[in-house]
Chains A and B, each alone.
Chain A
Amino acid sequence: MADGLNLEKNHMNVKPRGPSLFRFAAPQMFYPLAGRLAPWFAAAALVLTAIGMWLSFFVAPTDATQGEVYRVIFIHVPAAWMSMFIYLVMAFWAAVGLVMNTRLSFVMSQALAPTGAMFCFVALWTGALWGKPTWGAYWVWDARLTSQLLLLFLYFGFIALTRAIEDPRRADRAGAIIALVGAVNVPIIYFSVKWWNTLHQGASVSLTKAPSMAATMLAGMLVMAFAAWAYTLAVTLWRVRPMILERERHTEWVGEVLDRERGRG
């Protein structure tokens, strides 16, 4: 154990030759960086949300067939995009962690999961609110809805597994495996659900034949998507920081950081 700590310390003291982004893979370097970046992303998220809301509520025209109800897509679509994208990023960090054996990668993938699950839930919830007036039902067993629901379950499984294991080393690796298994299965689930639906009944509702969208509608949606990105980055970075402190609590630098923050407060 003592050897391991010494080795780690020696490793930390090695100065990187030239500016290398890889040095931020060290928790010690990443902790202050995350603290510096998070407020900027949070500010960007606020500004973009304000612009996006303004575009979507005041600038974008009323839809000819759906009326005002369609405006839910300005939250719904970015949330759905983010929920899928975050799962991929999560699996990516899990793979990096398993291959390169970097502790920070596992922390990243675990910090992303709650946000991904939240966006997944938001997409389902707003979809239900949109579905009632448009389809006449809060829920239909449409391929997209169903695979989104299963994605939410995959998020729950990942979060539950990493929380249930007390040893962080085992939790990291076990979570990484289930994230990767899930990532392999996501396309299989999507296509099986799609075929299941089309095999059972003619598609009653088609989302793919979207009518051409007004430019301002698209702009509003994209701005909201960027806002969701910025929000995700900010929240994840903020979530990563205490996780790093907790895991590195036996090291000297965490002691120094805590002392400094106590002195300030």
Chain B
Amino acid sequence: MLSTFFAVLRRDLLLAWRSRSDVLVTLAFFVIVVCLFPFGVGAEPNQLRAIAPGVLWVAALLACLLSLHRLFAQDYADGTLEQLLLSSEPAVLWVLAKVLAFWLTTGLPVVAVAPGLALLLDLEQGALPVLALSLALGTPILALLGAVGAALTLGLRGGGMLLALLILPLFVPVLIFGAGAVEAEASGTGALAHLLLLGGGLAGALALAPLACAAALRISTD
């Protein structure tokens, strides 16, 4: 059973590697969105420091949202998805593998780049590990929830906008605790509570989202 998981994971990672530019585009989008904020709100360091956690988190969220269409669209177009659904392997397993591959190629680079960008916004250096940790715990939740939305909007006209409308309200708790963790660390109250809540959210999403996503894929390819 695990061999299915690893086979799908390896395949998706290989495909992502072959089209590396997609991954880089996501990353570039993340960097550019963050860099836009100082132009919008002014380059006053105190202000930038105050909004840094929120800006970084919102940008990570948008980067995830905009790359979500890649998760199933290609497999849907060339029929791979249908074959996977027809196969006797449990759908939850390969859905999880696909989401993991998606996170490794879009979430993980964001996690890696975010601390560097935080320096541009003059975030306190002590809060950088918490920023990376909160993103590492939070972006998988975004990917898991987003996968459900991506599965539901598969092949629809105006799917991108619809996906945003469906999924963004569900992202709010992650945003609150993710940005809250960094802010709490920077203000000295400690980020443990936020990080534990994010971890709990991740455990819940890991348990429930693949089921919903598999059901949604069945409906969309029916």
Contacts and interface: CB of A to CB of B under 8 A. Distances in A.
B172 A192 contact: yes
Contact of B180 (A157, A160, A180, A199): A199
A56 to B, nearest CB: 33
Contacts, number: 74
14 contacts: A153-B165, A157-B169, A160-B162, A160-B166, A161-B153, A165-B156, A174-B216, A174-B220, A181-B145, A188-B173, A188-B201, A189-B169, A192-B173, A199-B180
A189 B173 contact: yes
Nearest to B174: A192
Given A178-B152, A192-B197, A199-B184, 17 more contacts: A150-B169, A150-B172, A153-B168, A153-B169, A156-B165, A157-B166, A160-B162, A170-B220, A174-B152, A174-B216, A174-B220, A177-B212, A177-B219, A182-B169, A188-B201, A192-B173, A193-B176
Given A170-B222, A177-B212, A161 B166 contact: yes
Interface residues of A, number: 27
Given A169-B222, A170-B222, A177 B215 contact: yes
A132 B166 CA distance: 31
A160 B157 CA distance: 12
Nearest to A191: B173
Q: Is the interface of A mostly helix, strand, loop or mixed?
A: helix
Interface of A: 150, 153-154, 156-157, 160-161, 164-165, 169-170, 173-174, 177-178, 180-182, 184-185, 188-189, 192-193, 195-196, 199
B180 A181 contact: no
B177 interface: yes
B42 interface: no
A154 B169 contact: yes
Given A165-B156, A196-B180, A199-B180, A160 B165 contact: yes
A154 B166 CA distance: 7
A193 B180 CA distance: 11
Interface string B36-54: 0000000000000000000
B196 interface: no
A124 to B, nearest CB: 14
B143 to A, nearest CB: 15
Nearest to B170: A185
Nearest to A188: B173
B148 interface: yes
